[in-house]
Chain A
Amino acid sequence: MEDNNEVNEVDLTDSKMVVPLNTWVLISNFKLSYNLLRRPDGTFNRHLAEFLDRKVAPNANPVDGVLSFDVIIDKGTSLLTRIYQPASADAPQLNILDFHKPVGVEVLPVIIFFHGGSFAHSSANSGIYDILCRRLVGNCKAVVVSVNYRRAPENRFPCAYDDGWTTLKWVNSRSWLKSTKDSKVHIYLAGDSSGGNIVHNVALRAAESGIEVLGNILLNPMFGGLERTESEERLDGKYFVTIQDRDWYWRAFLPEGEDRDHPACNPFGPRGISLKDVKFPKSLVVVAGLDLVQDWQLAYAKGLEKAGQDVKLLFLDKATIGFYLLPNNDHFYTVMNEISSFVRSDC
């Protein structure tokens, strides 16, 4: 018991030294609340989760050059997406109709965004993700479509992927999102944590069905496997995340009875499928050097490379999880720049 506490004290100091104080407070607060929500029996305190989550409403009035509105794209599953568009403050006030007016740009990147939360937490209207999407719009001069996908443990694999796929098809068929250059919708998939995992899996479906995705952006994507890797053991509990909590989320998301070598969790593992000769989008994989699942993320990038796919790996040495939530560190700007170049390479 004593030893544990000593280790705990060291842990807390470690993470406090590598991030600004307000970032430390933000992420520690999440860690604390999330600890209260996960029950040992695998159930989730959803009511408390929704109570604690800080949400924001959409705003059709431009704020800092971005407006947003929500669209229910599938009444059956109540699937909601939040759409963010560039808009200047002095433009005439938009009404319901103008939203479907063509954005009318020669090359318009449309980024379908999947928020993180390890498949269980957060929503498209969570404050942290609303602000991130707004930043992406300004940064990339893109339209962002944030997907409010169904979450675990109430909705296991493949619900989140299904919702992503539904959204992809919907976005692809919106005439008002087409780039005027080629009358097509220029689609990118982006996501952090579980969102990154969803990006990969939705891209797979797109590849199988012939819908073109121009690029995948995976920010600290959530992957794993049965094996315990070196980074997992080395960083366990040191920077906000523990192996134990990772295990819990996989048990909550994967089909009951499945293990972490399920291809959804471990795409290049023993049960993974080969991506050789698959028309898969180019990928930008961002790995935080203090994220304990980095070995799996690096293995993912390697797997893509081995399959002859176009992948750019961005390894951020002293970054922790959630570094992109606040614009108060170098990594944030590095990544924003990279994402911008990535989606604007053909503009």
Chain B
Amino acid sequence: MKRNHQVSCGGGQNGGNTSVSNSSKAKIWEEEQESGSMDELLAVLGYKVRSDDMADVAEKLEQLEMVMGSAQQDGISQLSDTVHYNPSDLSGWLQTMLSELNPIDDVLSNSQQQRQRQKQKQIETQSRVIIYDDNSEYDLRAIPGIAAYPQSQLQTETETTSKRLKTSIGSASSSSSSIEPRPVVVVDAQDTGVRLVHTLLACAEAVQQDNLKVADALVKQVGTLAVSQTGAMRKVATYFAEALARRIYKVYPQEDSLVSSYSDILQMHFYETCPYLKFAHFTANQAILEAFATATRVHVVDFGLKQGMQWPALMQALALRPGGPPVFRLTGVGPPQPDNTDALQQVGWKLAQFAETMGVEFEFRGFVANSLADLEPSMLDVRPPEVETLAVNSIFELHCLLARPGAIEKVMASIKSMNPKIVTMVEQEANHNGPVFLDRFNESLHYYSSLFDSLEGSSGPSEDLVLSEVYLGRQICNVVACDGGDRVERHETLTQWRNRLSRAGFEPVHLGSNVFKQAKTLLALYAGGGGYQVEENNGSLMLGWHTRPLIATSAWQLASPSPSPSPSPSRLS
């Protein structure tokens, strides 16, 4: 529809020649429509539909309308209770619903045949009802949801497989804007510490310009101002000021092995205080469980074992599988310890005891490594996929590799050579790895402000809260004060990780509405305040504070070797 319109739909403050740019904009998107790329108008809204596919998508909508119309409430209930994946891929989403209601048919068959088969299907579904039930007497951490246990081997597997493994269009595409977005969420308070933040930013700018005398004066001012502040702002400002001071005076925090065992303890307090780690473990475990499905021997390689808090829940869930638990092998990686104590073995021992009470056959192996890049896959005793199903798990570990050139690529290659069924990763949703110091400072100030804000409302012992803040404070210190190989808190966004993983030869495995729902339930249990939000993002799940996503869980598998985009990829095991 070619038009020439006078209304400005996005002009700047001075209201320049917007009508000209609008009509040329209109021409550009019209041309793109014709060339068969993504419909821009829908893309902006979050829906990925190729212009060429629009008519086909419309037809699917009509078919669903008809099928649902004849199935009435049963059809609607079935579809609302089923698991949904990646709603941005409209075509895929609609197709899986159509398949759900008519699993055997070619969807283009005539309506009468459809109605008849629909009736048949209804009878079938009645006997094979899949109920995703959240009412459990168990701690939610241990019950990942019945979606992980396929009941009808053939049907469920193909259905859930094609849903989860569908390669959606543009799922690994980079963000469309050339400048990176800056999500800012502020809490309006009487005393926002305006002067304090202003001074902090001025100080950071002075540091950026290498004006250390000015920076020194300003950082002292921050200290004074911070004292009269309260709440999250005071804490955040204090940590950032300390980090700036270290950078100015070149007194860098020591990263020795003593500190790393201390950091495990800090992380445990962080685990207790707020839901971020619980969410990370829960969502990763869900993906692992679904990938393990009915395998009889499974192996998890945990890139950062720490206190092993993720694994009891997984073992409990495995123990509850209808056919009984698989043989469970865990390989935990950790840094060297100061007094040569075998911290990994200690954790492994505790987990073994737990496994015994669960009736799960368990084997543990620990691997000490300074860096994940030092690991050779041959060391890890990976068995062939026909024998054992492998999951590689990384919670807040991969970003550290970005501090050493070549390290992340090496680790990606190692993972690939292990041939895992699934790779689960959780990372901070922020770009704290830009080349310009001031940008990193700004980004991290906003990020940790939101994080500290979220902690303010937490109940529980104050010791947990304080130590959680210390845990985060160490991250702040690393982002702001350190550089080169020492700066390991090199957080990057999900979009950036998607590009990296896609280039390395991985494709996404989608997390569905069942995981989403239970993550939300978990939040309701463990996160008192109403501020935590779970968001679905092209198959990944993000946890954030209000509208600011803070961590992202994504799952991956090796990309299929064939170049043609297969509409119904088969299961890898």
Contacts and interface: CB of A to CB of B under 8 A. Distances in A.
Interface of B: 1, 3, 5-15, 18, 39, 41-42, 44-47, 49, 54-55, 57-58, 61-62, 64-66, 68-70, 73, 76, 79-80, 84, 87-88, 90, 111, 177, 179-188, 192, 194, 197-198, 201, 442, 446, 449, 513, 516-517, 520, 529-531, 534-536, 546-549
Contact of A328 (B1, B84, B111): B1
A29 B61 contact: yes
Contacts of A55: 46, 535, 547
Interface stretch (A91-99, A249-257, A307-315): A91-99
Contacts of B41: 22, 326-328
Contacts of B547: 55, 57-58, 70, 80, 82, 125
28 contacts: A5-B111, A21-B58, A25-B57, A25-B58, A47-B513, A48-B80, A48-B513, A51-B513, A52-B513, A54-B45, A54-B87, A56-B46, A57-B548, A58-B183, A59-B182, A61-B181, A65-B10, A72-B185, A72-B186, A80-B546, A89-B12, A93-B442, A97-B194, A127-B45, A135-B9, A138-B8, A138-B11, A138-B18
Interface stretch (A178-186, A207-215, A258-266, A332-340): A332-340
Contacts of B70: 1, 5
A127 B88 CA distance: 12
A60 B447 CA distance: 13
A243 interface: no
Interface string A19-43: 0111011101100110111011000
A151 B18 CA distance: 37
Interface residues on A, range: 35 or more
Nearest to B54: A21
A21 B62 CA distance: 13
A278 interface: no
Given A54-B45, A72-B187, 18 more contacts: A24-B58, A26-B45, A48-B513, A55-B535, A57-B549, A58-B183, A58-B185, A63-B181, A65-B12, A70-B185, A71-B188, A72-B546, A73-B188, A80-B185, A88-B13, A99-B184, A325-B45, A327-B9
Interface in A44-88: 45, 47-48, 50-52, 54-61, 63-66, 69-73, 75, 78, 80, 82, 86-88
A8 B68 CA distance: 11
Interface in A128-148: 128, 131, 134-135, 138-139, 141
B53 to A, nearest CB: 10
Nearest to B44: A131
B542 to A, nearest CB: 10
List 9 A-B pairs, minimum CB-CB distance, nearest first.
A54-B46, A64-B10, A57-B183, A138-B10, A65-B12, A47-B517, A36-B80, A60-B182, A69-B184
B517 A138 contact: no
Contacts of A25: 42, 49, 54, 57-58, 61, 90
B499 to A, nearest CB: 18
Contact of A47 (B44, B68, B520, B549): B520
Nearest to A327: B9
A87 B45 contact: no
B9 A28 contact: no
A88 B177 CA distance: 15
B314 to A, nearest CB: 23
Contacts of A139: 7-9
Given A59-B181, A61-B179, A36 B79 contact: yes
Nearest to B41: A326
A97 B187 CA distance: 12
Contacts of B42: 22, 25-26
Given A69-B186, A78-B546, A54 B88 contact: yes
A12 interface: yes
B114 to A, nearest CB: 11
A328 B45 CA distance: 14
A331 interface: no
Contacts of B79: 36
* Chain B, interface SS category: mixed
Contacts of B197: 95-97
Contacts of B80: 36-37, 39, 45, 48
A135 B10 contact: yes
A100 interface: yes
Contact of A5 (B66, B181, B516, B548): B66
Given A70-B548, A333-B7, A35 B45 contact: no
B45 A336 contact: no
B175 to A, nearest CB: 11
A16 interface: yes
A345 interface: no
A108 B343 CA distance: 63
B9 A138 contact: yes
A61 B88 contact: no
A4 interface: yes
Nearest to B548: A57
A20 B44 contact: no
Interface string A91-114: 001011101100000000000000
Contacts of A39: 80
A70 B546 contact: yes
A313 B445 CA distance: 48
Q: Which of A1, A87, A96 counts the most B-chain CB atoms under 10 A from its CB?
A: A96
Contact of B13 (A86, A128, A131): A86
Nearest to B33: A22
A51 B87 contact: yes
B65 A60 contact: no
A70 B46 contact: no
Contacts of B6: 337
B205 to A, nearest CB: 10
Contact of B201 (A29, A88, A95): A95
Contacts of B534: 50
A336 B7 contact: yes
Given A72-B188, A326-B41, A47 B516 contact: yes
A75 to B, nearest CB: 7
A134 B520 CA distance: 30
Contact of A131 (B45, B58, B530, B546): B45
Contacts of B181: 57, 59, 61, 63
Contacts of B45: 26, 54, 127-128, 131, 325
A50 B201 CA distance: 36
A340 to B, nearest CB: 7
B529 to A, nearest CB: 8
